[in-house]
Amino acid sequence: MVTHMKCTTRFLLVLAVVLLAACDRIPHTSGYIHSNDRYLEENVANWNSMISTVNAWNDSPLAEEFHEAIADGDDLSKFRFRLQAAHTDAVKQRTSAEQLTHRPEAADLHQHLLASLQSVEDMFAILVTLAELPAGYTAEQSASILARLEPAIERMDTDLQKLSDAQDTFARSEKIQLTTSDPSRR
């Protein structure tokens, strides 16, 4: 009986050590490195989320209302909360992406993701500054902010295109099939 207990105790101890070692290989735990296909999936998910947020301020009724308010010199404070939320989301997304682990062959793709997230974050920071202008702001006050916005948008567009191209290149080089449409909509 004592020998059986010792064997059981040893077995449980070995099992506990194996389980603890396995925990080191679970996503979001220390030491885990995403496989290339899983990393690409995470990278594309970040890109899709980013595009969705950007499009809400670029191509929507809200965007039209915002652009008209800027053109007319109207009070922009009603957009402030949503822009601050978009900026906060961009910061959180970039911070989260910085923690994504990847294999060495995905390093370039990862840098493109971080650059894209940073440029989206920067663009929203400028939009927040614009929305924080006091009621009755002057054309000169908005002009200096708008002058910073144009190159920020151009940089963001360039970074997003580079990221998209890098995703395609990485998928081809790793022989990973990228899904370019929502399969649930077929």
For residue 17, with 0-12 CB atoms within 10 Å meaning exposed, 13-18 middle and 19 or more buried, which class applies? exposed
Asked if 12 and 43 sit in the same domain, the reply is no
Asked if 89 and 67 sit in the same domain, the reply is yes
Asked if 92 and 4 sit in the same domain, the reply is no
pLDDT band of residue 1 (cuts 50, 70, 90) is: low
Asked if 26 and 74 sit in the same domain, the reply is no
Asked if 27 and 45 sit in the same domain, the reply is no
Question: Residue 31: how many CB atoms within 10 A of its CB?
Answer: 10
Q: Say whether 84 sits in a helix, a strand or coil.
A: helix
Residues contacting residue 44 through CB under 8 Å, at least 6 positions apart:
167, 178
Radius of gyration of the chain (CA): 24
- Kindly report, residue by residue over 146-162, the tens digit of the pLDDT: 999 999 999 999 999 99
Least confident segment among 5-19, 62-76, 152-166 = 5-19
Asked if 28 and 80 sit in the same domain, the reply is no
Asked if 112 and 26 sit in the same domain, the reply is no
pTM, whole model, 2 decimals? 0.79
Q: Is the pLDDT of residue 92 over 70?
A: yes
More confident residue, 30 or 109: 109
Show the tokens assigned to 106: 């995905």
pLDDT band of residue 32 (cuts 50, 70, 90) is: confident
Asked if 77 and 150 sit in the same domain, the reply is yes
pLDDT at residue number 175: 94
Ramachandran region, residue 132 (left: φ > 0; alpha: ψ -120 to 50; beta: rest)? alpha
Asked if 76 and 16 sit in the same domain, the reply is no
Q: Give me the mean pLDDT over the 77-89 stretch.
A: 97
Asked if 6 and 79 sit in the same domain, the reply is no
User: What residue numbers bound the domain in which 102 lies?
Assistant: 34-185
Asked if 130 and 72 sit in the same domain, the reply is yes
More confident residue, 31 or 185: 31
pLDDT at residue number 26: 47
pLDDT at residue number 20: 39
User: For the chain, how many structural domains are there in total?
Assistant: 2
Asked if 40 and 95 sit in the same domain, the reply is yes
